[in-house]
A = this chain, B = another copy of it.
Amino acid sequence: MEPHGTDDLDLDLHRARRTGEPEVVLAGPKTPEQAARAVRGLLDGTTGPVLATRCTPEHVDAILEAVPEAVVHHDAGVVVARAALSDPTLGLVVIATGGTSDLRVARECQVTLEAFGCKSDLITDVGVAGVHRVLGRRAQLDEADVVVAVAGMEGALPTVIGALVEAPVIAVPTSVGYGAAFGGLAALLGMLTSCAPGISVVNIDNGFGAALVARRILRARNRPAGDA
């Protein structure tokens, strides 16, 4: 999603102006030093939010050395070097997860939203193996302007939610599961072929990407009417 652009700052610092999103550092495939340098560079060269995702402890250490004031979210693997002010008028994202093992992905989504100033609620453990659990949260789900549904294994949670609520549902398959889960493939295919309406899908484990889609929807929601 974001490995591009951080070495090419003169060009990419205008990016926020163009699409409304700043560059974000995907630490995962980078060395700690590369990641830290990219975060520092974005912090110095831009004025918007700056964060790094998929951070290992080594990434975290290197980034903290370069940017001591950064805030670390260990459960999300995210480091926030500069966050936007929270803007509750944008609307509400509700993030729902199937099980404990999906939490890291859900938290990556939530921390990213927060860094971008978006308000979100997190509903955990509403896997469809106990369908009453998700039904019991219907009032909370109905308040969402956007729902992000995070689930591994057979990935049926977005289907059930998509049929309950009116909001658009962003489905995030996770790599939780073994055997025929094939690293998230079962959940991915299930979500793509869902028989419920209003569901679109992002990459496996891509909580960050879901946050960006959710934020765009909230921004569309708040766009002056004359724009369209």
Interface residues of A (CB under 8 A from B): 1-8, 11-12, 15, 18-21, 26, 28-30, 34, 38, 88-89, 91-92, 98-102, 119, 124-133, 135-136, 143-146, 152-156, 159-160, 162-170, 173, 175-206, 209-210, 212-213, 215-217, 219-221, 223, 225, 227-228
Which of chain B's residues have a CB closer than 8 A to the CB of A177? Answer: 193
Cβ-defined contact, B100 with A30, below 8 A: yes
Cβ-defined contact, B193 with A98, below 8 A: no
Cβ-defined contact, A154 with B156, below 8 A: yes
Bound complex: CA of A178 vs CA of B189, how far in Å?
A: 11
Q: Which listed residue, B2, B92, B179, touches A228 by the CB 8 Å rule?
A: B92
Cβ-defined contact, B21 with A197, below 8 A: yes
Measured CB to CB, the closest approach of chain B to A182, in angstroms, equals 7
Which of chain B's residues have a CB closer than 8 A to the CB of A100? Answer: 3-4, 6-7, 30, 34, 38
Which of chain B's residues have a CB closer than 8 A to the CB of A217? Answer: 168, 217, 220
Cβ-defined contact, B176 with A197, below 8 A: no
Q: Which listed residue, B169, B196, B213, touches A198 by the CB 8 Å rule?
A: B213
Q: Which listed residue, B11, B28, B165, touches A178 by the CB 8 Å rule?
A: B28
Bound complex: CA of A143 vs CA of B8, how far in Å?
A: 21
Bound complex: CA of A126 vs CA of B12, how far in Å?
A: 10
